[in-house]
Amino acid sequence: MNPNEQTIEWTVLKHGQWELYVAKTNKGLCYIGSPGSSFDEFKVYFSKRYPDFTLAENPEALTPYVQELVNYFSGTKQAFSLPIDVKGTPFQEEIWRALQTIPYGETVSYSEIAALINRPSAARAVGSAIGANPLLILVPCHRVIGKNGAITGYRGGMDLKRFLLDLELQKT
């Protein structure tokens, strides 16, 4: 075994109509897939971000993360407490940190996120960084909407985005 190789443990979360790949490194949750995405798509994600990796299916290792997500989907949890491990460019990571400041049940626009990071003219770049978010739900990119209030694109699909927004708005 290569000493630089990283093991990424994964499982499939099934809840209601949603089936999502969920994965973690030894540092924390690193990926939540889009509903209906393939295992090949899942593997491609890791091949782009981790030079040496092994995928190991391990539902037990993901149990605490899956339970937090199930509790969120059920409306009994509003904040996540387990560690995360996201990898992106410095700009993407800055955007993902900003997303984590959006309170449960609230929405902001892409331009508001750009202003929050002191780059008011970077709304399009913000949108691209949001689209690359590997941790749907935990890094709450579903809370970002168009400036005019329109529900806009989402890596997890528009059905999931509407579900998440409706869930949060019911509980606030």
pLDDT over threshold 70, residue 143: yes
Given 141, 144, 145, 164, the catalytic residue: 141
Neighbours of 58 (CB within 10 A): 15
pLDDT in tens, 29-72: 999 999 988 888 888 888 888 888 899 999 999 999 999 999 99
Tell me whether residue 141 is one of the annotated catalytic residues.
yes
Neighbours of 171 (CB within 10 A): 12
Give me the residues paired with residue 75 across strands.
Answer: none
62 exposed, middle or buried (CB, 10 Å; 0-12, 13-18, 19+)? buried
Predicted confidence at residue 22, as pLDDT, reads 97
pLDDT in tens, 73-94: 999 999 999 999 999 999 999 9
Residues in Cβ contact with 109 at an 8 Å cutoff, skipping those fewer than 6 apart:
123, 144, 145, 146, 147
Rounded Cα distance, 53 and 63, in Å? 21
Rounded Cα distance, 110 and 102, in Å? 12
Give the three-state DSSP class for 89.
coil
Predicted TM-score of the model (pTM): 0.91
Average pLDDT along the chain? 92
